[in-house]
Amino acid sequence: MKPALVLASTSARRRDLLARIGVVPDRIVGPHIDESPLKGELPRVYALRLAEEKARAVDRRDGEVVIAGDTTIACGRMILPPAETQDIQRSLLRRLSGRRHHALSAVCVIDAAGKARLRLADTIVAFKQLTPAEIETYIVTGEGLGKAGGYAIQGQAESWVRFLSGSHSGVVGLPLFEARALLATAGVFGADRG
């Protein structure tokens, strides 16, 4: 018998990504954590820490498995914030215009025995040079508001990508190769579950 799965995220994107590999969470719980970077924290360490903190922040019942993820956008050693306002989004898109950046997508699975395992997908994304008009037109759509880096690759921003090396699903919000491997180790992903 497969253990029950808890998705520590209210993100519809993460739910949809899991469905692509035939996994449907038994419960969905939104974790509440402080997502502020620690002083001097590097982007990779930050993404992994947040994924684990999110997984540990939800109430895990006996025998349940928890999965959580975090996607962080970084330019060099700089962690870019989510686009909470249009002004922040405009600034982020100007920074990303015409250059490469890293989409660091961490996933944490806590198995039924309480052991946490982590994996990270580091995807390099390069945008074309964006015109001010393209940035303003995109901001009006609202699709990148609240998102890491100020864009949603599964939407209109995908047409800006001139180069991508790594996990497309990781940029969307959950690296499926890594998630599937961790879920298999935890006994969730198998022949009768997808």
Numbers of helices and strands, H then E, in the chain: 6, 7
Question: Are 168 and 152 a contacting pair, CB within 8 Å?
Answer: no
Rounded to whole angstroms, the Cα distance separating 175 from 63 reads 24
**Residues that are catalytic:** 70
Query: In the chain, what are the domain boundaries?
Result: 5-185
pLDDT tens for the chain, residues 1 to 194:
789 999 999 999 999 999 999 999 999 999 999 999 999 999 999 999 999 999 999 999 999 999 999 999 999 999 999 999 999 999 999 999 999 999 999 999 999 999 999 999 999 999 999 999 999 999 999 999 999 999 999 999 999 999 999 999 999 999 999 999 999 999 997 644 44
Query: What does the pLDDT read at residue 191?
Result: 45
Rounded to whole angstroms, the Cα distance separating 68 from 118 reads 10
CATH topology of domain 5-185: Maf protein (3.90.950)
What separation in angstroms does the CA of 152 have from each of 66, 73, 132, 161?
A: 25, 11, 18, 11
Rounded to whole angstroms, the Cα distance separating 111 from 101 reads 32
Rounded to whole angstroms, the Cα distance separating 151 from 128 reads 14
